[in-house]
Structure 1
Amino acid sequence: MTAPVPKLEKSEEDWREELTPEQFQVLRKSGTERPFTGPYWDTFEHGRYDCLGCGQPLFLSDTKFDAGCGWPSFFKAVTPDAITEIEDRTHGMLRTEIRCSRCDGHLGHVFPDGPPPTGLRYCLNGTAMSFTPLD
């Protein structure tokens, strides 16, 4: 069993100072970027996707796939404890929201319509992530 991820807590004022208005809206207010407009939806370089709010590693490029939805999509998180899943009943739907387990930043949602081997589609806001190329 792995140790719990240490939490990063900041005030709303600190987050507003560190993030652009769009990043703040997505990460701290559970916003969603429009499809095909955010970063990384069409990036397929070898690398790692990290939480923009705290730098925690979230997903690797070898788990990324083109879901055709206009958002970066992955079938597996880098580790199970990198994300937290929360029931989301907003907008008249029942979905599973995913958040960064370290800073509680909103990342997107997970759906059961992804490819093997997991059958999951982690549908992320590119605005919520940074990308680090890896050799």
Structure 2
Amino acid sequence: MSAAYKVCSDARTNADGRWVDAMGTPPHSKAWNIATFALKHSLTVCQEQRQALREQVEFMENIIVDGSSHDSEVAAQMVDGVVSELKAGEQYYATETPRYRHLLVVGWGSPHCIQHADGYTPNSSICAAGENPLQP
């Protein structure tokens, strides 16, 4: 479990860094391709951690229900932490998977305004006064 956590953590950190490097770059640029690969890699390697957490929660729930009094108490104290970590992982997939799809289809260089292009920030918050948003 700890090895899966480290690999996933490193992959997520790398994907976040490549995302920043690629902001505002055109689709299929070198930075865009690196960011796409890093995000896909992160989603792939974090699957192992996600599955291990699910199995750990299920194991603890079984101990709580069927284990000895002492084991049940210990598992009951630990299950909340594991469930919280699993929820954080699930939230990561809920946000990053659609972002990955958007990246593949649109790319980072999908500006909402002529200037300040990042492709993700709503144009109301990045378009300067009087600046016209680009038409899709």
Q: Which bin holds the TM-score, normalised by the shorter protein?
A: under 0.3
Q: Kindly indicate which of the two structures has a greater share of residues assigned to helix.
A: 2
Q: TM-score, normalised by structure 2?
A: 0.21
Q: TM-score, normalised by structure 1?
A: 0.21
Q: Which structure has the bigger radius of gyration?
A: 2
